[in-house]
Amino acid sequence: MSSTYTHSKKNQSLTKNQRIVLDLLQNSGEPLKAYFILDSLKKEGLNSPLQVYRALDKLVELGKIHKIESINSFIICNNSNCASNTAFTICERCGKVKEIKNKYLKDSVSDLVKDNQLEITRYNLEFYVLCKSCKIN
Amino acid sequence: MSSTYTHSKKNQSLTKNQRIVLDLLQNSGEPLKAYFILDSLKKEGLNSPLQVYRALDKLVELGKIHKIESINSFIICNNSNCASNTAFTICERCGKVKEIKNKYLKDSVSDLVKDNQLEITRYNLEFYVLCKSCKIN
DNA sequence: TTACATATGTAATAGTATAACATTAGAGGT
DNA sequence: ACCTCTAATGTTATACTATTACATATGTAA
């Protein structure tokens, strides 16, 4: 078996471990934790935490997924080309996470931090909210 | 010995554990990790992780310190009244963390997220930068 | 003083992530 | 086809971060 494993058209050039982790996150759409991913993919041949973390690290580096720091979870990227800059809303009540899609966000954000002694290389923004359905109920 | 332990004028009404943890963070000014705090305060009578985490939780709740999620560290609050909203710069090279002081930040930030289906209850913003001295060297 | 909420102390354990090392696979050049 | 280099893998062990559970003590207010 080839290790680039081009079973699906998408996610070519990924290795098998990277692809099955990405597929799981893609199919889920929700933030998943590393050890949950490990449990879910035992049957696919993932045996150790390190295998999961290595795949996750690579996928984060490629911008295909993001880590949501405050909940130690990983989620499929909902944009394109946002390997370094991320912004999420997290519902305080139900925990639902959505990636904020806003191509102008980066510029706005840069304006916020006006200290020209430093340059922003990347950012991670986590907004806690009451989501629509939790607001109603 | 009273458990409110008003040794210093500041930080009155805190318990002993809360006060020694806060004092350490105040004197340090840098982000510290929970187990580092534990080691540092062994001689003051802190014996277990839980004692540290309980003090940290309370201080975060009071807005006296903040947790920097992406580095699992805690830092003294550099503002006032920002129990729920935090913004930091973190140098990619040297790791130095600074809290962003900007009383207009909250309004600006709210404008960024224009989806009126949801309301922001709090936020945590982590900007990775090259700090002044790392930029030069 | 009673009652209640909050904080403490302690031991055990759960959850998250990386170090170290040996091995294998893929991509490019000759 | 072969060599070489880089990246990924597999495995074991361990380090780091945080919470559960339970018994005890303290502070505050009726």
What CATH number has the domain bearing residue B22? 1.10.10.10
Q: Where does a domain end: A36, A52, A76?
A: A76
Pairing of strands A65-68, A97-99: unpaired
In the block, residue with structure tokens 């916020």? A112
d(CA B88, CA B74): 12
Query: How many Å from the CA of B55 to C1' of D30?
Result: 29
On whether both B70 and B92 belong to a single domain, the answer is: no
pLDDT at residue B81, rounded to an integer: 60
DSSP code per residue over A65-98: EEEEGGGTEEEE-SSSS-SSEEEEEEETTT--EE
* Token duo for residue B92: 């990619």
On whether both B21 and B40 belong to a single domain, the answer is: yes
Average pLDDT per 10 consecutive residues for chain B, totaling 137 residues: 36 85 96 97 94 96 94 90 81 89 71 70 89 81
pLDDT at residue A33, rounded to an integer: 98
On whether both A68 and A20 belong to a single domain, the answer is: yes
Q: Give every CB contact of residue A63 below 8 A, 6+ residues apart in sequence.
A: A77, A80, A81, A82, A83, A84
* Token duo for residue B25: 């963070």
* pLDDT tens-digit series, residues B123-134: 899 999 888 888
pLDDT at residue A18, rounded to an integer: 96
Q: To 10 degrees, what angle do helices B49-61 and B16-28 make? A: 80
Cβ of residue B35 near strand D, that is under 7 Å? Answer: yes
pLDDT at residue A114, rounded to an integer: 66
Query: How many Å from the CA of A126 to C1' of D22?
Result: 36
Q: Count how many residues are written for chain B.
A: 137
On whether both B115 and B70 belong to a single domain, the answer is: no
Quick one: A99 exposed, middle or buried, by C-beta within 10 A (0-12, 13-18, 19+)? Answer: middle
Number of domains in chain A: 2
Question: Chain A residues with CB inside 8 Å of B127's CB?
Answer: 109, 113, 120, 122-123
* pLDDT tens-digit series, residues B26-43: 999 999 999 999 999 999
Q: Where does a domain end: B24, B56, B76?
A: B76
On whether both B21 and B67 belong to a single domain, the answer is: yes
On whether both B65 and B113 belong to a single domain, the answer is: no
User: Which residues make beta-bridge pairs with A120?
Assistant: B129
The answer to whether B89 touches B71, Cβ cutoff 8 Å, is: no
Q: Which of residues 41-100 of A touch B (CB under 8 A)?
A: 69-70, 84, 89, 91-92, 100
Nearest to B56 by CA among B70, B77, B85, B42: B77
What CATH number has the domain bearing residue A122? 3.30.1490.190
pLDDT values of chain A reduced to their tens digit, one per residue, 137 residues: 333 333 333 445 899 999 999 999 999 999 999 999 999 999 999 999 999 999 999 999 999 999 999 999 999 998 775 667 889 999 988 889 999 876 667 777 777 766 656 778 888 999 998 888 887 77
Look at residue B1 and tell me if it is in a domain: no
Nearest Cα residue in chain A from B107: A112
* Sequence-ordered strand ranges (E) for chain A: 65-68, 73-76, 85-91, 97-99, 119-130
Other residues' Cβ atoms within 10 Å of the Cβ of residue A5: 17
Which structural domain range is residue A40 located in? 16-76
On whether both A91 and A120 belong to a single domain, the answer is: yes
